[in-house]
Structure 1
Amino acid sequence: MKSTPAIATAALLLLGLAACGGTDAAETAEAPPAKSIILITPNPVGTNSFLQLGVKGAEAAAKELGASFKLYESKDPTSIAQNVDAAVRAKPTVIVGISFSFDDVFTTVPKANPGQQFLQVDSCAKEQAPNLACVSFKEHEAAYLAGVEAGLLSKSGQIGVVAALDTPFIHRWIEPFFAGATSVKPAAQGTPLYVGGSNPFSDPARAKSQAQTLTGRGVDLIAAAASGGNPGVFEAVAASGGKAFGVDVNQCALSPGNVVDNVLKHVDVAEHAAIKEIFDGRTGGVKVYGLAEGGVGVNALGDDLASSGCTVAASPDVVAKVKQTRDDIFAGKITVADPLQS
């Protein structure tokens, strides 16, 4: 009983401290949420240059905007769905999904979560919700330019493509490449082969095997469109005396003297810009980046061609033709057919 006054005094002291310096639940709830970005990839990033660009763009945006960044790497459709669900529960400022692998899940999840902003890079769900922004590219325009180079440089007139999968989207790297070649060498013949298997975007061994099949048929120029599998293609052409084209980024340094040029796609730049727009409140919609918008290209068009390590730098006549073709596309004199629209 004698301790009661002490207890009462302590209680009053605690109440006083709370009144002076405490923060109640209402104040906490009203605090603005922290800015954050979650990027979900369809496969482990690893050596996949396309996914590396996705990470680069999101990280750059996070740094500029003062936001946190988290990467969720998937391995199959099931883990993609699981990662999207986990991201929704985390409630970031924006959830970014990269590639056509998100077409299905982004058809339903954004509609079910209208208060959450989503960004899909390199594709767009067919039924686009108002809170889903999309960024896509005209890869076929850059592939056409690479094809022009291949047609001018091929000695056998046999060119090929080693692509990850036989899908309408990936055909943007195939038919336009062959069309560019035949525009300057009508007799040129093109053959595509596909990596396939359980890991089509990161399987150098299977990509190399398909490239060896092509070189065995007399193909002397191969466009590598197998992402992480591209080094396998470079190994095959190096052994056969042929040449290759890279994809997404400058891959000429991966196999010095064996890579002519690259079908470039500036995923990081477009993704960075789209995230900034979402943070500024400009959400939804679709933006398409082609040659005119600086979203795609080839190293032959760059000011740094001389230091690129690409063998096309040694063929100024080919570079001049590529630049003329680019200008003709700008002027509407050449229209590159989009396999996705056919």
Structure 2
Amino acid sequence: MRKALVAAATLPLLLTACGAASGTSGSSSKGSGKSVILITPTPVGTDSFLQLSVAGGKKAARELGASFKLYESHDPTSIAQNVDAAVRAKPTVIIGVTFSFDDVLGTVPAQHPSQQFLEVDSCPKKQATNLTCVAFKEHEAAYLAGVEAGQLSKKHKLGVVAALDSPFIHRWIDPFFAGAKSVAPQTTGTPLYVGGGNPFSDPARAKAQAQTLSASKGADIIEAAASGGNQGVFQAAAAGGFKSFGVDVDQCKLSPGNVIDNVLKHVDVAEYNAIKDVAAGKSGGYKIYGLAENGVGVTALDSDLASSGCTVASDPAVVAKVKQVRDDIVAGKIKVADPVTGA
């Protein structure tokens, strides 16, 4: 996805930057001998998903009395360089976040069997025994958001501004439209993509795509699935013409009155649990968090909905319907298709 390459000669500079971005969990780490290294595919910046991963890693490190270091990558080359640097540091666990690590963690763990690895949000097809994986059923939560959108849209025209056109990203797109059509069959949906050299953090491009969906396609509700670019969608919504949905975390307060709800993914909780398990010697395996495991959801299901700032809080009938659909999905009465597996 990211074509820019970092020359090998920049490795010392890169590792220095990693060190500068790192932090420790406090004096309690000095005697434990444990350490956690988290590697991101891009700089954390305003990316709410990566911010959650950092929060989960830091929380686990604090409770383990371990040090915590953050290595921020920029492209596939720097991902590989950061993984190599982390292996040489020999921490308790090395964490790679997102499918951007599928290639490197498909080979490196087998080459270093005494080192524990964790991949968050994906897993290589060939998983080594010293690699633990956690992932999510984002499509289940996106379906719930669609159920809300289908009830609230007056034009029955929806849009999604997504980072990329890929099977994984379609987990936020196809189920969103399917959920809407389940309650309003006349609904139509159009996705547009940020793309370019920085698809996950380009608010200007995301804003332009949202404006196109509203002005040219007539969408009155648009889901923002562009990571760090979501703010651009919210800015377009604030200018009038449509309402929006956020993703990963509660983003309603970022644009008061303009965000209906959020497709939530509790990355910090899943990562925290996995790190604790690895540190306790329970490594390996592949755990997937869905609605049943409370690993995904929407803000409408949360106990603090009233104070969230999400506009769906003022529609109790919509909230009641979402709770019913959630229960039906968990009970197996409703099957949400996964765009990645096709099942």
What TM-score do you get using the length of structure 2 for normalisation? 0.90
Q: Which residue of 2 aligns with 1:186?
A: 185
Contact 1:215 1:240 in 2 (8 A): no
Residues of 2 paired with 1:33 and 1:139: CA distance? 36
Shift of 1:33: 7.7
Tell me which amino acid in the other structure corresponds to 2:174.
E
1:116 is paired with a residue whose SS is: coil
Aligned to 2:116: 117
Instruction: Find runs of 4+ consecutive structure 1 residues off by over 4 angstroms.
Output: none
- 2:335 — aligned with what? 335
**Equivalent residue runs for 1:66-215 within 5 Å:** 66-215=65-214
Higher helix share: 1
Question: 1:312 maps to which residue?
Answer: 312
CA contact (8 A) 1:237 1:243 kept: yes
Q: Secondary structure at the match of 2:91?
A: coil
Distance 2:63 2:325 in 1: 36
Give 2:233's aligned residue.
233
Shift of 1:137: 0.3
Report the residue type matching 1:252 in the other structure: C
Percent of pairs identical after alignment?
74
Aligned length: 311
3-state SS in 2 of match to 1:244:
strand
> 1:304 Cα shift?
0.5
Alignment of 1:274-313 (within 5 A): 274-313=274-313
Rounded Cα–Cα distance in structure 2 between residues aligned with 1:126 and 1:236: 39
Aligned-partner SS, 1:187: coil
State the alpha-carbon separation in 2 of the partners of residues 241 and 234 from structure 1: 11
CA contact (8 A) 2:106 2:127 kept: yes
Deviations 1:64-89 (A, max 9, x none): 00000000000000000000000000
Match of 2:262 in 1: 262
After superposition, the CA RMSD in angstroms is: 0.9
Local SS of the residue matching 1:341: coil
Amino acid at match of 1:208: K
Q: What's the counterpart of residue 249 of structure 2?
A: 249
Could you give the per-residue CA deviations for residues 140-178 of structure 1, whole angstroms, max 9, x where no partner exists?
A: 000000000000000111001000001110100000000
Residues 226-247 of structure 1: CA deviation (Å, up to 9, x unaligned): 0100000011122133100000
Query: Contact 1:39/1:96 (CA < 8 Å) preserved in 2?
Result: yes
Cα deviation code 1:249-280 (max 9, x no counterpart): 00000000000000000000000000000000
Please state how far the C-alpha of 1:333 moved relative to its aligned partner.
1.0
2:167 alignment partner, SS class: coil
Q: Secondary structure at the match of 1:125?
A: coil
Letter of the aligned partner of 1:139 in structure 2?
Answer: E
- Give the CA deviation at 1:138: 0.3
Which residue is equivalent to 2:326?
326
Contact 1:139/1:173 (<8 A) preserved: yes
Q: Which residue of 2 aligns with 1:16?
A: none
Query: Which position in structure 2 is the counterpart of 1:56?
Result: 55
TM-score for the superposition, normalised by structure 1: 0.90
CA displacement at 1:330 relative to structure 2 = 1.4
For residues 33 and 87 of structure 1, what CA distance do their matches in structure 2 show? 18
Letter in 2 for 1:99: T
CA distance in 2: counterparts of 1:333 and 1:118, whole angstroms: 36
CA distance in 1, matches of 2:126, 2:276: 24
Contact 1:38 1:70 (C-alpha < 8 Å) held by counterparts: yes
- Name the aligned partner's letter for residue 286 of structure 1: Y
| Contact 1:215 1:237 survives alignment (8 Å) | no
